[in-house]
C-alpha cells in the first residue's frame, strides 16, 4: 500500500498552513531492537520493539511557512542543498501532508545529539517534524496517529512521540494503522543511560539499507523475530518488577544478537570499531567485579550503557566522558 493512501485515512482533505510552529522530540534507545521491515514503503516492522526516550536529548524543529515553491531545510544552523539526502527525506515527508497544495516551509532542525552516529537522531527529527506539522497545519491529531505518520518518516520515530518506556506494537494490518508507539505507564527513578561516544562521524551504511541487507542476505536473520518476541516479554517483566539484572542482560543480548545478524550479512556489516570492542570488554570486566552495568548498541560504533543512579559515580571513574541521562529522575 502507498504512503499517500494511508495518509488519506488520517488527514483532512484540505489543510492550510496557519502559522509557524516549533517542537521538541526526544531521541530514544531501543532495549529490544527494530531490525527488519515487512513493508518498506510504510516502515512496518517484522518485530515489535521497546525503547526508552532520552528526556532532554533530541531534536528541536521549527517550521516557518514560505512563499517559495520548495522547502528550505536547515540542519544544525546550516542550510542544506535541496538534493542532500536529509533534505530530500524531509521534503518527501512534508509532501505527505501538503499533497497537491502550495504549502512550503523553511524547516530548521537542531539536534543536541551527534547526527547519524547511531544515536537515533532521525527518530527524534521525524517525531519533532510530525509534531510541528500537526501544529502548523492545525491538524489536532491524536498521539497514535502522529506516531503512525512519524513512522512513515523513519520507523523508530514512532517511539519518539512519547517519553519514558515505549513499546512499538508491530500490528497486523496492511495499512499499518495498528503499528505505532504506546507509552508504558511505568516509571523507573534512578534508571540511567550513559552515552559512550566512540565516533560521532557519519556512518557508511545507514540503518535503512543495513536492515534491508540483513533481511535479504543473512540466514541467521531467520532466528531474529523469535528472539525479539522473547526478549520483549522479558523486558516487560523486568520493567514491571524493576528487575535491573533481567533488563540489562536482555537488552545487551538483544543488541548483540542483532549485530550477529548484521555480521552474518553479505557483504558483511560490522559497525564496531576497535574502541567499541574495548568499551564492551570494560563493561564485562566491571560486571565481573560486581558493578551492575550493561550496554546496548545500534547501527553505529557507539555504546549506550545501562546502569542505576547509585553506580553513577563509580562508573564515571571508568568512563570519564560519559554523558548520562536519567529519564525518570532519581
Residues that bind ligand DP6 (CB under 6 A): 30, 33-35, 43, 49, 120, 122-123, 154-156, 207-208, 298-299
Nearer to ligand DP6, 127 or 293 (CB): 127
Least Cα distance to 74 among 58, 86, 89, 65 occurs for 86
CA–CA separation, 104 and 87 (whole Å): 13
Taking the alpha carbons at both ends of the chain, their separation in whole angstroms is: 45
Nearer to ligand DP6, 195 or 286 (CB): 195
CA–CA separation, 114 and 129 (whole Å): 18
Query: Minimal distance in Å, beta carbon 32 to ligand DP6?
Result: 8
Query: Minimal distance in Å, beta carbon 17 to ligand DP6?
Result: 26
- Other C-beta atoms within 10 Å of 279: how many? 22
Nearer to ligand DP6, 139 or 299 (CB): 299
Nearer to ligand DP6, 59 or 154 (CB): 154
Query: Minimal distance in Å, beta carbon 14 to ligand DP6?
Result: 29
What 3-state class would DSSP assign to 166? strand
- Other C-beta atoms within 10 Å of 301: how many? 24
Nearer to ligand DP6, 30 or 73 (CB): 30
Query: Minimal distance in Å, beta carbon 153 to ligand DP6?
Result: 7
Nearer to ligand DP6, 17 or 109 (CB): 109
Which residue is it, cell 542532500? 84
Query: Minimal distance in Å, beta carbon 316 to ligand DP6?
Result: 26
Nearer to ligand DP6, 286 or 299 (CB): 299
- Phi/psi of residue 244, nearest 5 degrees: -65, -40
Query: Minimal distance in Å, beta carbon 72 to ligand DP6?
Result: 23
Nearer to ligand DP6, 156 or 308 (CB): 156
CA–CA separation, 61 and 22 (whole Å): 6
Nearer to ligand DP6, 34 or 221 (CB): 34
CA distances from 8 to 11, 24, 163 (A): 6, 26, 28
Least Cα distance to 292 among 317, 276, 311, 279 occurs for 311
Least Cα distance to 58 among 27, 88, 104 occurs for 27
Which cell is 184 given?
Answer: 508504558
Q: Between β-strands 49-66 and 104-111, what pairing exists: parallel, antiparallel or unpaired?
A: antiparallel
Query: Minimal distance in Å, beta carbon 29 to ligand DP6?
Result: 7
Query: Minimal distance in Å, beta carbon 215 to ligand DP6?
Result: 12
Query: Minimal distance in Å, beta carbon 164 to ligand DP6?
Result: 16
Instruction: Name the residue with the smallest CB distance to ligand DP6.
Output: 155
Write the DSSP string, 249-318.
Answer: HHHHHHHHHHHHHHHTSSS------HHHHHHHHHHHHHHHTT---EEE--SSS-EEEEEEGGGHHHHHHH
Amino acid at each position: 500500500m502507498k504512503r499517500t493512501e494511508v495518509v488519506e485515512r488520517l488527514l483532512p482533505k484540505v489543510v492550510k498552513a496557519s502559522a509557524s510552529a516549533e517542537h521538541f522530540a526526544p531521541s530514544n534507545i531501543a532495549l529490544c531492537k527494530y531490525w527488519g521491515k515487512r513493508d518498506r514503503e510504510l516502515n512496518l516492522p517484522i518485530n515489535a520493539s521497546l525503547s526508552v526516550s532520552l528526556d532532554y536529548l533530541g531534536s528541536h524543529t521549527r517550521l516557518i511557512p514560505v512563499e517559495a515553491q520548495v522547502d528550505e531545510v536547515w540542519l544544525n544552523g546550516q542550510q542544506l542543498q535541496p538534493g542532500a539526502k536529509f533534505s530530500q527525506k524531509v521534503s518527501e515527508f512534508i509532501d505527505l501532508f501538503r499533497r497537491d497544495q502550495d504549502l512550503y516551509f523553511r524547516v530548521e532542525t537542531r539536534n543536541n545529539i551527534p547526527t547519524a552516529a547511531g544515536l537515533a537522531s532521525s527518530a527524534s527529527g521525524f517525531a519533532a517534524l510530525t509534531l510541528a506539522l500537526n501544529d502548523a497545519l492545525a491538524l489536532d491529531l491524536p498521539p497514535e496517529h502522529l506516531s503512525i505518520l512519524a513512522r512513515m518518516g523513519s520507523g523508530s520515530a514512532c517511539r519518539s512521540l512519547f517519553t519514558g518506556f515505549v513499546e512499538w506494537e508491530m500490528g497486523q494490518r496492511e495499512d499499518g494503522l495498528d503499528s505505532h508507539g504506546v507509552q508504558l505507564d511505568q516509571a523507573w527513578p534512578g534508571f540511567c543511560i550513559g552515552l559512550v561516544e566512540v565516533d560521532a562521524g557519519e556512518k557508511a551504511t545507514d540503518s535503512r539499507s543495513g536492515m534491508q541487507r540483513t533481511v535479504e542476505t543473512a540466514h541467521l536473520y531467520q532466528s531474529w523475530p523469535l528472539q525479539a518476541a522473547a526478549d520483549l516479554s522479558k523486558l516487560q517483566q523486568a520493567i514491571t518488577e524493576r528487575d535491573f539484572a533481567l533488563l540489562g542482560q536482555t537488552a545487551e543480548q538483544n543488541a548483540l544478537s542483532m549485530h550477529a545478524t548484521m555480521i552474518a550479512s553479505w557483504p558483511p556489516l560490522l559497525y564496531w570499531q576497535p574502541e567499541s570492542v574495548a568499551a564492551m570488554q570494560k563493561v564485562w570486566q566491571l560486571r565481573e567485579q560486581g558493578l551492575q552495568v550493561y550496554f546496548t548498541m545500534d547501527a553505529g560504533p557507539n555504546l549506550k550503557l545501562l546502569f542505576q543512579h547509585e553506580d553513577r559515580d563509580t562508573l564515571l571513574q571508568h568512563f570519564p566522558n560519559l554523558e548520562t541521562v536519567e529519564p525518570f529522575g532519581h
